[in-house]
A and B are shown apart, each in its own frame.
Chain A
Amino acid sequence: MSSDATFGDYGGQYVPEALMPAIDELTDAYERYVLDNEDGFMDEFRARLQDFGGRPTPIQRADQLSERYGCDVYLKREDLLHGGAHKLNNALGQVLLAKYMGKDRIIAETGAGQHGTATAMACAHLDMPCEIYMGRTDINRQRPNVFRMRINGAEVNPVDVGRGTLKEAITETFRDWAGTVEDTHYVVGSVVGPHPFPSMVRDFQAVISEEARAQFRDRTGGLPDTVVACAGGGSNTMGSFAAFIDDDGSDGDDRVDLHAVEAGGSSLQVDEEAGVAPNSATLSTGEEGVLHGARTKLLQDSDGQIMESHSVSAGLDYAGVGPELAQLVDEGRVTPANVDDDVALAAFHRLSATEGIIPALESAHALGYLEERIGVVEETEKGGAALGDSILVTVSGRGDKDLETVIEESADRDLDAAPDMDVFREGIR
């Protein structure tokens, strides 16, 4: 672990002056409590992840997918973490850190609502007042998560500017923080933002790959050939990759390939006139720039105005990406990929119908990538060559939150495993 503020050319601290002292204070707290385990912070964090969060989450061999793709497919089941997504790892870490720092109020942004619900849960658990900023569009398409946040005692502040999604919510939360830094901690929801957030959130999420690497070893005696994780801002991605980054094949060790799957949305084509990128494939198509406190890859027009991104999955719908992930892609350590809405929806249904696991639409992108890269393999053929003989895929969350979206979006598409829901759609919306 390092506390460097930059990742090559990426990262840094591009924030208004009023926030700099808070950022400095947070950096100091990160180094002391997270990196040096001062006052036993990390011990308490791990204990709470276990007791409250239900860690460790298992890895599971997906038998049907393994057969389909002719290789061993293992799932890291972050959908089984308390709250139903990997987000709790980070939220619990930061809310606990805020307590150690003596802050008495928590604010956070949320897109899909998963980070908001995780933060609201962590705040209720640790007895901290909590306010969540959420775009109006997201509120409308993620209502169950709004209810969960409210029921856990959080205030939910709707953000009406722009298109009313994640990037507006982030901007609004920074704005709150600029006036309240003295007593408030901003729980950033991904490996984005100014240092120390990208490093700190990665360290809190790294538990995913720390567990998975040991579990995979125990189970198989080796390491997976490839780890696949979906990427929006990149917290699940960095969490899934962190412990494998050094398995880069140098010194004759086994190499673990790392594939980050972004949302290809409906198209990779950009409508510059309208300022819309109908995808959020930042790693594949983005250009370097500065947004929300960090230099990183962004979806932006030629002037540098930030584009509206799109994905069927609200949690991947973001115009930026974590600076460390951008660097790992530049260095060739991480392979960027993307699958479109159709492929993700098909994968959602496939895992649900054949493995009994309803994945989040975000995670469905990682699963869809297997279908796209490997495809169905004949019985006699030893398959999986594209991604190796053993693949570890992180199921970053469960899909209950996405059911309405999936049913609506599936109705107009010809998807193999999708059940006919027409009779039942009346009652929806």
Chain B
Amino acid sequence: MTGDATTSGTSGSGDLDGSTLSNAFAEGPAFVPYLVAGDPDFESSKAYLEALDRGGADVIELGLPFSEPMAEGPTIQTAIARALEGGMTPDRYFELAESLDVEASLVCMTYYNLVYQYGTESGPRPFVERAAEAGIEGLVIPDLPAEEAEDLRAACDEFGLDLIFIVAPTTDGDRLDRMRELVSGYVYVQARLGTTGARSDVSDQTATILERVADWEVPRAVGFGISSGEHAERIVAGGADGIIVGSALIDVVAEGVETGRPVRETANQLESLASELTEGAAAGARKNRSEPEGQ
């Protein structure tokens, strides 16, 4: 299905004119990097995000740090602590999003309590309204399963945002159907069990899950554990429409912080890793075109 101009889910903003997030997947496999906003500070973070954009990012998942990140492994957890220490707040986050000079679409990844608490009225609406104003096109909320997502879906519809869901290796049956109904933009396919973190192997589970969401209307981006161009190639060759990379990029940021490396050098490293991942994904897509499709 790579290369198809896919439309978004049945209940999302995609009903209007096809979501721009889905469109980011239209011209070949999408490279979707994740960084924690404000890690380690506002200005460095801005430089890193713009470097990823130059390196070929199609969508940037921009993490809004929450004090209790229950779905993250140690790498992202530590990055979140650095960003909070550096003074990142929801309001600063939206300022950062507005200040970015990037072509990639922005998706906000955070935990539900921050979405729920934002603004004066309770519930997710004020957060989504502000996110839309800041140019954010979609949300991923790891601690919000489809069962609890009705209010947020409604707010996203109102302000034209996509709501991305994570499909895990353990997701099946009714749960898959429920997510399929609510998802728009793209679906985040979790490649293996556990929390986030760069791994050297690519799980066999990945192929099985991709199979399960093969006939969904939204593109399928695979995340969890992708750390090199070669991984990216294998994942895309295995049928993914995009790759999500977080921990491997944050390792570069962390190393920069620990060694006191200048921001520009870290940015350059991020840009070259981004290019490697973008090219790896493209190579995977070429492989797919030269071989008959598996589905």
Contact = CB atoms under 8 A, between A and B. Distances in A.
Interface in B166-221: 166-172, 175, 190, 193-195
B122 interface: yes
Interface in A172-229: 174-175, 178-182
Interface stretch (B138-146, B227-235, B239-247): B138-146
A298 B112 CA distance: 14
A102 to B, nearest CB: 16
Contact of A304 (B118, B145, B147, B172): B118
B147 A303 contact: no
Q: Nearest 4 pairs between A and B by C-beta?
A: A304-B117, A179-B194, A18-B168, A16-B71
Interface stretch (A134-142, A286-294, A329-337, A373-381): A286-294
A357 interface: no
A289 B117 contact: yes
Interface in B107-122: 111-114, 116-118, 122
Interface string B74-112: 000110010010000111000000000000000000011
Given A20-B145, A181-B193, 15 more contacts: A15-B70, A16-B70, A17-B167, A17-B168, A17-B171, A20-B168, A21-B171, A24-B175, A161-B77, A179-B193, A290-B116, A304-B66, A304-B90, A305-B66, A306-B113
B69 A290 contact: no
A300 interface: yes
Given A16-B71, A175-B70, A179-B193, A303 B171 contact: no
A292 B68 CA distance: 8
Contacts of B118: 303-304
A7 interface: no
A14 B147 CA distance: 9
B74 to A, nearest CB: 8
Interface string A332-353: 0000000000000000000000
Contact of A16 (B67, B114, B166): B166
A70 interface: no
Interface string B32-75: 00000000000000000000000000000000001111111100
Contacts of A289: 113, 116-117
Interface centre among B91, B112, B148 (most CB of A within 10 A): B148
B203 to A, nearest CB: 12
A327 interface: no
A184 to B, nearest CB: 11
A179 B70 CA distance: 12
A21 B170 contact: yes
B31 interface: no
Contacts of A18: 71, 166, 168-170, 190, 193-194
Secondary structure type dominating chain A contacts: mixed
A192 B128 CA distance: 28
Contacts of B111: 290
B165 interface: yes
14 contacts: A14-B112, A14-B145, A16-B71, A18-B170, A22-B170, A24-B175, A175-B73, A179-B193, A287-B117, A289-B117, A290-B111, A290-B113, A303-B90, A306-B68
Contacts of A174: 70
B34 to A, nearest CB: 15
Contact of B170 (A14, A20, A171, A287): A20
Interface string A290-314: 1111000010101111100000000
Nearest to A20: B145
A275 to B, nearest CB: 8
A12 interface: yes
Contacts of A288: 122
A11 B118 CA distance: 20
A240 interface: no
A100 to B, nearest CB: 21
A303 B117 contact: yes
A92 to B, nearest CB: 26
Interface string A7-32: 00000111111101110100000000
B195 A17 contact: no
Contacts of B195: 175, 178-179
Contacts of A22: 170
A313 to B, nearest CB: 22
A167 interface: yes
A303 B126 CA distance: 12
Contact of B116 (A167, A304, A306): A304
A180 B145 CA distance: 19
B193 A292 contact: no
Contacts of B117: 287, 289, 300, 302-304
Contact of B145 (A13, A175, A292): A13
A22 B145 CA distance: 13
Nearest to B174: A24
Nearest to B224: A18
Given A291-B113, A304-B117, A17 B145 contact: yes
Interface string B221-261: 00000000000000000000000000000000000000000
B67 A305 contact: yes
Taking each of A14, A162, A288, A298, which has the highest tally of chain B beta carbons within 10 Å of its own beta carbon? A14
Contacts of B112: 14, 290
Contacts of B172: 21
B70 A161 contact: no
B208 to A, nearest CB: 14
A305 B122 contact: no
